[in-house]
Structure 1
């Protein structure tokens, strides 16, 4: 299983993330860091992720997102995208989307307060869907 690990950091100490790092994994093995071409493709993903306010102070990496897809029907197209928001080794919270009829539209969204504003609402669901859509566009070569 491959996943994208996203790490946001507040290196300037101003109370909001100012850097985002992307790492491509296969299993638990780091395959590569994001390159310049990847960064262009990940620009929209990064902007949406920063709205989740899940970042580290300084250069810490404990808080991060692991996002991955699953294809339980084994037809070659992912039906589920899962988002695991980690705080160190512990998963602090999860979110997921599901394309029930394999038409490219997410009919099912499971989300908590992913933007950490104190409310689990439509905005959280739309952010989860946007992150999932951007993730599925990635080139894993």
Structure 2
């Protein structure tokens, strides 16, 4: 199983997320999670748009390309718009993104967004809330969304739906999921 763990931080101290860290994990046969890729993006002027980033081979095709950079920017820009970040260099709040495989021999038909919060350094993170998007018709388009206030402004609206769509679609574009069809071959 592959998943993405994203963390946003307010390193400038202005009350807004400005740095996004992406950790791409793969769970091995022994049940241990291995960090495979790491990337970061920075919003230097507080406009919730990435100004600086690392470029890694996110889609695991053997080379870092403009497409990888674009995919990272799309995901990080959406993540910066959430009100789910840490003050300073803290790692208490994270977002874990996982593909949903309802049908064994097809590509993912959904994506779950698990918003985790660690209340203390000695405890495991707990699920604060969850959001998801689904491809209900099997056509590769995410058209069903949970009604979740992901930007934490107190209202579930179209902005939340678009943030969920953007985060989930950009995660699927990373192709950071285990495809049962290729795994069975």
Same-fold call, TM cutoff 0.5:
yes
C-alpha distance 124-81 of structure 1, shift in aligned 2 (>3 A)? same
Give how far 1:139 is off.
Answer: 4.4
Matched, 1:127 2:157: no
1:36 and 2:66 are equivalent in the alignment: no
Alignment partners' CA distance in 1, 2:157 and 2:165 = 13
1:84 aligned residue? 114
> How far apart are residue 29 of structure 1 and its match?
2.8
Question: Which of 72, 86, 94 lines up with 2:102 in the alignment?
Answer: 72
Kindly indicate whether residue 137 of structure 2 is the aligned counterpart of residue 118 of structure 1.
Answer: no
Q: Which runs of 5+ in 2 are unaligned?
A: 28-32, 40-53, 59-67, 119-124, 178-185
Hey, what does 2:3 align to over in structure 1?
3
CA distance in 2, matches of 1:113, 1:17: 18
Is 1:50 matched up with 2:85?
no
Name the CA distance, whole Å, in 2 between partners of 1:101 and 1:139. Answer: 20
Which residue does 2:16 correspond to in 1?
16
Find runs of 4+ consecutive structure 1 residues off by over 4 angstroms.
none
Return the TM-score normalized by structure 1: 0.92
Whether the 8 Å CA contact 1:111–1:128 is kept in 2: the answer is no
Q: Specify the alignment match of 2:44 in structure 1.
A: none
Name whichever of 98-107 and 123-132 sits farther off: 98-107
> Over the residues paired in the alignment, what is the CA RMSD in angstroms?
1.7
Give the structure 2 partner of residue 99 of structure 1. 135
The unaligned stretches of length 5 or more in structure 1 are: none
- Deviation, structure 1 residue 107: 2.6
